[in-house]
Amino acid sequence: MSDIAAPHNGELMDRVYRYQRHIYDFTRKYYLLGRDQLIASLSPPARGHVLEVGCGTGRNLIAAARAYPRARFYGLDISAEMLETARANIERAGLGGRITLARADAADFEPILLFGRAAFDRVFFSYSLSMVPPWRQALECAALALAPGGRLHVVDFGQQERLPHLFRTGLFLWLKSFHVSPRPDLFQALCDIAEAEGGAVRTAPLYRGYAWYGELRAL
């Protein structure tokens, strides 16, 4: 596993998840909505290459590798604690030969150094952009890692626009305690990248705005 990451952000995430990582998948399944819809939308080509940015415990990589047995998968995360759990989960699932992990900063990574690949057919974020302070840079970095015709997928907390105000206020306060900040400009940021780099964007609110889904298709 490679080990290239911004020390400050990595230390913060290690502190946040040092103990949570052991119960993360059990607790998060109740409110990280839309993850499986994103995985179902990936549809990588046969023998394609798929990268998850902010792979956490490896839960999504394992599910995606099972859904697409002819593809190869890669994951990066800034937290060494989470990667330790991810590696154990992946080995337990018998997928160590198809999933490669690396420690790196989502906003500043070079895939050729981490994985020996310059580009991927699919790149995705699943509830990780809301934990990356320079999240726009992370999106730009991911878009640059797309192969021609590749797709960038994102699912994360939305703005709760069709849910009660008290629910929105309470959720945002709770998320803040975990250093999570939903991105109100997420859809616009995807459109800006598509305009600058070329491509098309599809966006959709999920669950009355509880989650947002975005997809950028590179030319």
Q: Please state, as a whole number, how many other Cβ atoms lie within 10 Å of the Cβ of residue 118.
A: 11
Among the listed residues 103, 111, 104, the one whose alpha carbon sits nearest the alpha carbon of residue 143: 111
CB 148 within 8 A of CB 219: yes
CATH class of 2-218: alpha beta
Residue 1 has pLDDT above 70, yes or no: no
pLDDT tens-digit profile of 56-94?
A: 999 999 999 999 999 999 999 999 999 999 999 999 999
CB 54 within 8 A of CB 141: no
Residue 183 has pLDDT above 90, yes or no: yes
In the chain, the percentage of residues whose pLDDT exceeds 70 is 86
CB 33 within 8 A of CB 204: no
Residue 11 has pLDDT above 70, yes or no: no
d(CA 139, CA 148): 17
pLDDT tens-digit profile of 16-47?
A: 555 454 444 545 555 789 999 999 999 999 99
**First vs last C-alpha separation in the chain:** 31
What is the value of pTM for the model shown? 0.89
